[in-house]
Amino acid sequence: MVFNVIVPTESSTVLVVGKESVGKSQLISSLTGRSAGEANFRGSTVVVERYRLGDTEYIDTPGVLRNSDTETTRLALNALDEHDVVLLIVQATSLDQDLRDMLPLVVGKRCVVVVTYWDKVQLGEAAQEAIERLEADACVAFVTVDARTLSDPDRQRIVDALRRPAVLEKSVLSARAGWRIEPKPGLMEGRIIGPLAAILLLFLPALATIYGANTVADWLHPIVANWFDPLILAVNSTCPTWLRIILVGQQGEFGYGLLNMGPFLLVWAFPTVLMFALILGAYKTSGLIERINVSIHPLVRPFGLSGRDVVRVMMGFGCNVPAVISTRSCSSCSRGAAISGIAFGSACSYQLPATLAVLSGAAVATGSSAAVLTWIFLTYLLATTLIYLRLTSSEQARHSLNVLMTPSRPFMQWPTLSSMWREAAGTVRQFLFQAMPVFVVICIVASLLAHFGVLELASQVLSPVMRLFDLPSQAALPVVLASVRKDGIFLLTANDGLSFPMTAAQSLTAVYLAGVLLPCLVTAMTIGHETGWKTTSKLLARQAGFAALFAIALAWGGRLLL
């Protein structure tokens, strides 16, 4: 057969395009033998992964969702230009559907089609003849592979095809593969047990992170503290005042400076983010995440979310920043609800350890159970988040006819360590290179505000307001600081007990109000960058109002019940 071939230049760029969960990242990682580097694509807000092999750079674009209106899909496709070579990835199990959906997006481009999940097809002459028919009809090369076990001949076939890519001139093919292969229904597809299992699996990363990260922190804390304590003493005794303010910022029992928070970041935040990202990476690479999405979608649609969006909200328990950024792949009608859910209900790796520490201290001081207080807090946080989303999400997102891009049932497979790390690495990079620089700035600002008495003044102004929540006036400062940094909740506890007398109900109210009144400044800045400051201002005002109402209900209701 004769293809309309255009030979690319020696140094070339290959855009890797395909639906979500077709094995794009696995294929390119196996093809190049390289790890990915992240960057924004051609000045857009689309974050892509770049792989380089010799003179060729492979750009792994965000997964395309069928019938999608997501920002990442739109911007990724708009970024294509006539000079690009496109490596289109489609699944053998749904080959006709994938070609029907994807070919119109890349028509007119120099294109090579790679068919993944070929190991799921019953191999033989009939299957190979079907591929040859499609290849002849499209007039572009088709390469069939199993992306998880890419062989040397497979790599060579892809590289050879990319050296002489043909122009795709048809958006619709008359030829068909003629098959559709789906896995058998399993536990997750059960009418009752499926949603229950999905809910359990959704909360498992948070629970594992809570207990796992705490165990790691208990072991690491004395070690890391021994590193930092001499340095803090040296700074206090030898450094000029301005440097002491920034590095230590000691005000009473709490230090706002970079060195004070260094142990907290190393001991609590990073292990939490890493553990959460690895668990979600295992979910995604195994195909379990899609099964969860399908199963839980009917339960969360009345709250304006899709099954995919719930996973993004859960990501916020690791770090709000990558969770908010990941909402670029939400539907336009559900993105606002997803961001609201993250800002309101995702107790991040700063907030969660601080909250647990305060509730443990409250249990010691009041003779109650730390486990009971923790579960009351988490249950109330979940319930109020759902009420908040139900009342604030758009009617379009909650409509019974809106499927919100529910995916089809995928094949399950055992995740590999390399694939788990590939998925987790993006979240870890976002934490280190996006959240951390902002955190450093906030530490400096908070230290200056504390030194010049601004935080103390704000707490004095708000002290009378605390009576609405049945809280002592001293609770105002933790609430103010938690609006800047969630670890400010630590101010509610000291010396293994409460910093000031409070009942169990007051402790629950204090940590709830400090945690949800406003997202921390890092999260607020990320939301502002993603959605614009006008939209963000409305979101913050709305969240503060609902949080205040929910905290009042908890305060006075808890006074009667606890």
Average pLDDT over residues 342-363: 80
Across 24-38, 121-135, 191-205, 245-259, the highest mean pLDDT is recorded for: 121-135
Q: CB under 8 Å to 536, separation ≥6 — which residues?
A: 524, 527, 528
Q: With 80 as the cut, is the pLDDT of residue 339 above it?
A: yes
Please choose, from the candidates 7, 50, 48, 15, the residue with its C-alpha nearest in 3D space to the C-alpha of residue 32: 50
In a domain, 195, yes or no: yes
Q: With 90 as the cut, is the pLDDT of residue 340 above it?
A: yes
Q: What is the DSSP letter of 19?
A: B
Question: In this predicted structure, what is the pLDDT of residue 360?
Answer: 77
Q: Are residues 543 and 429 in the same domain?
A: yes
In a domain, 7, yes or no: no
Q: Angle at which helices 288-300 and 193-238 pack, to 10 degrees?
A: 100
Q: With 60 as the cut, is the pLDDT of residue 522 above it?
A: yes
Q: Are residues 203 and 69 in the same domain?
A: no
- The CA distances from residue 80 to 16, 148, 526, in Å, are 11, 27, 27
Average pLDDT over residues 14-21: 82
In angstroms, the CA 60 to CA 20 distance is 11
Average pLDDT over residues 425-435: 75
Q: Encoding tokens for residue 20?
A: 């979500």
Residue 75 belongs to domain with CATH number? 3.40.50.300
Q: With 90 as the cut, is the pLDDT of residue 115 above it?
A: yes
**Host domain of residue 439:** 189-394+420-561
Q: Are residues 219 and 138 in the same domain?
A: no
Question: Which contiguous run of DSSP H or E holds residue 440?
Answer: helix 436-451
Residue of higher predicted confidence among 26 and 504 = 504
Q: With 70 as the cut, is the pLDDT of residue 271 above it?
A: yes
Question: Total domain count for the chain?
Answer: 2
Confidence band of 65 (pLDDT split at 50, 70, 90): low
Q: Are residues 151 and 193 in the same domain?
A: no
Across 63-77, 513-527, 545-559, the highest mean pLDDT is recorded for: 545-559
Average pLDDT over residues 25-33: 80
Confidence band of 74 (pLDDT split at 50, 70, 90): low
Average pLDDT over residues 494-509: 72
Q: With 60 as the cut, is the pLDDT of residue 499 above it?
A: no
Q: Are residues 199 and 77 in the same domain?
A: no
Query: In whole angstroms, what separates CA 117 from the centre of its chain?
Result: 26
Average pLDDT over residues 4-9: 43
Average pLDDT over residues 18-36: 76
Confidence band of 544 (pLDDT split at 50, 70, 90): very high
Q: With 50 as the cut, is the pLDDT of residue 261 above it?
A: yes
In a domain, 4, yes or no: no
Percent residues over pLDDT 70 in the chain: 82
Question: In this predicted structure, what is the pLDDT of residue 264?
Answer: 64
Decide: 19 and 101 in contact? Cβ < 8 Å.
Answer: yes
Average pLDDT over residues 302-318: 80
- The type of residue at 535 is T
Question: In this predicted structure, what is the pLDDT of residue 534?
Answer: 92
Over the chain, what is the mean pLDDT? 79
- The position carrying tokens 């789906």 is 182
Q: Are residues 336 and 219 in the same domain?
A: yes
Question: In this predicted structure, what is the pLDDT of residue 238?
Answer: 87
Q: Are residues 441 and 512 in the same domain?
A: yes
Q: Are residues 153 and 218 in the same domain?
A: no
Q: Are strands 254-255 and 142-144 parallel, antiparallel or unpaired?
A: unpaired
In a domain, 410, yes or no: no
Confidence band of 539 (pLDDT split at 50, 70, 90): very high
Q: With 80 as the cut, is the pLDDT of residue 80 above it?
A: no
Please choose, from the candidates 71, 88, 218, 194, the residue with its C-alpha nearest in 3D space to the C-alpha of residue 141: 88
Q: CB under 8 Å to 127, separation ≥6 — which residues?
A: 121
Confidence band of 42 (pLDDT split at 50, 70, 90): very low
Question: Which contiguous run of DSSP H or E holds residue 72?
Answer: helix 71-78
517 exposed, middle or buried (CB, 10 Å; 0-12, 13-18, 19+)?
buried
Decide: 58 and 32 in contact? Cβ < 8 Å.
Answer: yes
Q: Are residues 467 and 320 in the same domain?
A: yes
Model confidence pLDDT, tens digit, residues 377-400:
989 999 999 999 999 988 877 766
Q: Are residues 77 and 222 in the same domain?
A: no
In a domain, 175, yes or no: no
Q: End-to-end CA distance of the chain: give it in Å, rounded.
A: 79
Residue of higher predicted confidence among 116 and 318 = 116
In a domain, 59, yes or no: yes
Confidence band of 132 (pLDDT split at 50, 70, 90): very high
Q: With 60 as the cut, is the pLDDT of residue 435 above it?
A: yes
Of the three residues 137, 167, 197, the one that is the final residue of a domain is 167
Q: With 80 as the cut, is the pLDDT of residue 528 above it?
A: yes
Of the three residues 118, 135, 167, the one that is the final residue of a domain is 167
In a domain, 52, yes or no: yes
Residue of higher predicted confidence among 9 and 255 = 255
Question: In this predicted structure, what is the pLDDT of residue 8?
Answer: 44
Model confidence pLDDT, tens digit, residues 327-337:
877 777 788 89
Q: CB under 8 Å to 76, separation ≥6 — which residues?
A: 17, 41, 46, 48, 61, 62, 64
In a domain, 401, yes or no: no
- From the CB of residue 454, how many other CB atoms can be counted at a distance below 10 Å? 14
Q: Are residues 121 and 212 in the same domain?
A: no
Across 177-191, 281-295, 337-351, 401-415, the highest mean pLDDT is recorded for: 337-351
Q: With 60 as the cut, is the pLDDT of residue 3 above it?
A: no
Question: Which contiguous run of DSSP H or E holds residue 144?
Answer: strand 142-144
Q: Are residues 250 and 367 in the same domain?
A: yes
